[in-house]
Amino acid sequence: MKTFGERLTLALKALSMSRGRLASELGVDKSLVGRWASGAVKPSAHNLERLTHVLALRCPKLTILDWEREPAKFATLFGLDDANLVSPEQTSLNLSPQLLQGARTATDFRGAAYEGFWRATHAALFERGRFCHQHGMIRRGESGLLQLDLGCPDVRYVGPLLPIDGQLCGIVVDTVQHLPSFMIFNTVSLPKIVLLDGLLLATGNALRTPAAYSIILERIGDLSGDREADDAHAASLMKTPEFIEDLTTLPSVVRQHLLRDFGPIAAASGGELMLTAMATERLSQIVASNTRIMNP
């Protein structure tokens, strides 16, 4: 069953109402509404009555008893299907409780080191010689897990990131074809993570051909702590074109890392037999180039 915070988030989305607007109409601080929506606290009886009154001005069917309704019935009050309003961070994964508990514990302990604005870089799967960027953010969601929200003008990828044994595992879905992609990242361990290096498994063409390829995520900024402002900034970053037209803007060390050779011939010369995300000297060079971007 959904928490009060998830019901409140659903209601605000249905009414196209921001947390700031609700806080203003209630005469409370926006951070309090944020804590309600995140599930950190529940409104007092007095505030719940006032909150219900404000929302009922836009949804006359809403009463104070409706906050205890089942999700589907609560959504129908707003003329909506509950499934259409579930955000990526609210979607439950049928994973073992032990795995999820371990991921939440690791997120509680180290999650802040990952939160920020990020840029993904990888080779274009079916356009030889071209490279792609997607931009977005990593942030803890209402589920207590890290959430990846990454995109460009034509597509957006969303889903949870699970810290497991020093790696970051992701299951993301694109918003166009609604297909899953799977990520495993190694981290370059610093007090604040600046580089995630890993592999992405996806079906990237009309024939649904599975493909695995290297991908890096580089930190390009820090969150402000204002969720609405951070959402707006992430949205502006996602307007950046996907394809990199000027390859001189992409350091050669990044291109070499993303397109490194592997297989029997490469292995015979001391290289990789399989495509892996092994630590290489190039990663420190990439970190150095990223640091110059963040601190010009």
Mind listing the pLDDT tens digit for each residue in 222-246? Answer: 999 898 899 999 999 999 999 999 9
Q: Averaged over 124-143, what is the pLDDT?
A: 88
pLDDT tens sequence across 41-63: 889 999 999 999 999 998 888 99
- Closest CA relative to residue 249, chosen from 126, 131, 129, 117: 131
- Tell me what percent of the residues of the chain surpass a pLDDT of 90: 35
Q: Averaged over 247-267, what is the pLDDT?
A: 89
Answering whether pTM is above 0.75, one says no
Which pLDDT score is estimated for 281? 64
| pLDDT of 296 above 60 | no
| pLDDT of 131 above 60 | yes
- Closest CA relative to residue 184, chosen from 169, 163, 202, 164: 169
- What is the end-to-end Cα distance of the chain in Å, rounded? 48
User: Which run of H or E residues covers position 284?
Assistant: helix 281-294
Give the HSE-up count for residue 250: Cα atoms under 13 Å, Cβ half-sphere.
Answer: 22
